[in-house]
Structure 1
Amino acid sequence: MLRAASVGTGDEVVVPAFGNAEVAEAVALAGAVPVFADIDPVTYCIDADSVAAVLSSRTAAVVAVHRFGRPADVAGLRRLGERHGLLVLGQADADHSLEAAPYDEVGERRAHAAYFDARLKGVITPARGEGHTYEQYVVRVPGNGRPDRDAFARAVRARGVDCRVPVKTPVHRTPEHRRSVILPETQRAADETLALPVGASLTRRERQRIVSACNALGGLLQPAGPLWLAASL
């Protein structure tokens, strides 16, 4: 898409650093330079205000990646693009598309998410949003950063729950794309997020096991930072 739009050598393309490196790699393959912007802490998608802050005379495009089944603010980015003459491209998260899953499967995932929303304690559950298909059910473990999240993950796995860290290292911290930029929400999300099972095939017993495993550890966590306070209000 970048090449078709004649984006290449001498151009900059704004991309999110929270996620896989494939988008930044695609920009580099087109001959352009990836520039990283921060994310919205609620949606985990690239934030329009952060994009606006990194624009330069060489910026040619912005890539919005839909994250965890939640759509990016493409409309807001397009308004920004219209003001600055930028191409705005959208891409699904990894191998998933917001439209790919059958309606019944999405409905099941949403039902599982509602069950977890009502019962999980000691973690910050994902904010609900229009169009959220819950490709992944991503919670935050708001202790003192990554060590708390990783310890929580190990303890939950020991109780039979197959959880995983969705983004271990932001792209701007990888050797291939290292940049000396400060992206606080991206780094915080990488340190705190944990994906719990939410597949449509989950049984009632499996859902109960997930809740029991997480809630058994809830007392070990100490609320920290404004995000926890905001989620509690």
Structure 2
Amino acid sequence: MLRAAGVGVGDEVVVPAFGNVEVAEAVIRSGALPAFADVDPVTYCLDPVAVEAAITPRTAAVVAVHRFGRPADVGRLREVGQRYGLLVLEQAEPDAPYDEVAQRRERAAYLDARLRGVRTPDGGDGHTYQQYVVRVPGNGRPDRDAFARALRARGVDCRVPVRTPLHRLSGLRRHVSLPQTELAADETLALPVDASLAKRDMQRIVSACNALGGLLQPAF
């Protein structure tokens, strides 16, 4: 799509640094350079304000990436694109059957109502919960990685969605300030909400998280 639009050598394309290395690699294959902008701390998608701040005379396009089942604010990104004459593309997440999405939302609502000591995700704008991503704050107390290890020891299959932002990876390294991206990489943890999980599985997740949550600072 980038090549078809004439994006190539000498151009920059604004992309998120929070995961999605394949997007940055696609930009490089087109001949352009990826320029990283910060994400919104709630949606983990590109922040339109940060995108506008990242625009230079070489910017030709923006790639909006939807994250964890929460859509990016494509409307505002297109407004930015129109102001600067930029192409705005989307990398959509795979669609899931309605029944599967409904079951994930049901499990997400169960966790929303019962989890303590972690920040639960915002469920707005049609969230489909491809991943149920919480924030585990640190500040000298048990951090995300310690929390994850303790959950796994209790039989909870959790995972770190993004361990290293793209602007810190060899070959893509950029000296840019992306505070929300780096904080999200340090604090986010995906808990299971698969449609196959039974009620006892959900109870185990809540019990394990809440047993550890008292060690953490209160969620805000």
Give the TM-score category using the shorter length. Answer: over 0.9
Q: Is the 8 A contact 1:121 1:218 kept in 2?
A: yes
1:30 partnered with 2:30: yes
TM-score (norm 2): 0.97
- Residue matched to 1:185: 180
How far the C-alpha of 1:201 sits from its partner, in A, is 1.1
Preserved contact between residue 118 and residue 136 of structure 2 (Cα < 8 Å): yes
State the partner residue of 2:158. Answer: 163
Counterparts in 2 of 1:18 and 1:11: CA distance versus 1, 3 Å = same
1:132-151 alignment runs, 5 A limit: 132-144=127-139, 148-151=143-146
Cα pair 2:62 2:89 within 8 Å, conserved: yes
Structure 2 distance, partners of 1:59, 1:49, is: 15
1:68 aligns with 2:68: yes
Which residue, out of 100, 112, 117, partners 1:122?
117
| Deviation of 1:20 (Å) | 2.6
Letter of the structure 2 residue corresponding to residue 195 of structure 1: A
Provide the alpha-carbon RMSD of the alignment: 1.2
- Cα shift readout 1:173-194 (whole Å, capped 9, x = no counterpart): 0001000101000000000000
Alignment partner of 2:209: what SS? helix
**What percentage of residue pairs aligned between the two structures are identical?**
74
- Inter-CA distance 146–85: structure 2 relative to 1 (3 Å threshold): farther
Partner of 1:13: 13
Aligned partners of 1:77, 1:176: CA distance in 2, in Å? 27
Equivalent in the alignment of 2:102: 107
CA distance in 2, matches of 1:144, 1:8: 43
1: CA distance, partners of 2:171 / 2:107: 38
Alignment of 1:82 with 2:82, yes or no, is: yes
Runs of 4+ in 1 over 3 A off after TM superposition: none
Aligned to 1:42: 42
Could you list the runs of 5+ residues in structure 2 that have no partner in the other structure? Answer: none
Decide which of 215, 221, 227 is 2:216's aligned counterpart: 221
Counterparts of 2:141 and 2:3, CA distance in 1: 38
Aligned with residue 131 of structure 1, among 126, 132, 136: 126
SS at match of 2:6: coil
Q: Secondary structure of the equivalent of 2:214?
A: helix
Number of residue pairs the alignment of both structures matches: 220
Match of 1:172? 167
Q: Are the equivalent residues in 1 in contact too, given 2:142–2:216 (CA < 8 A)? A: no
The normalised TM-score by structure 1 is: 0.92
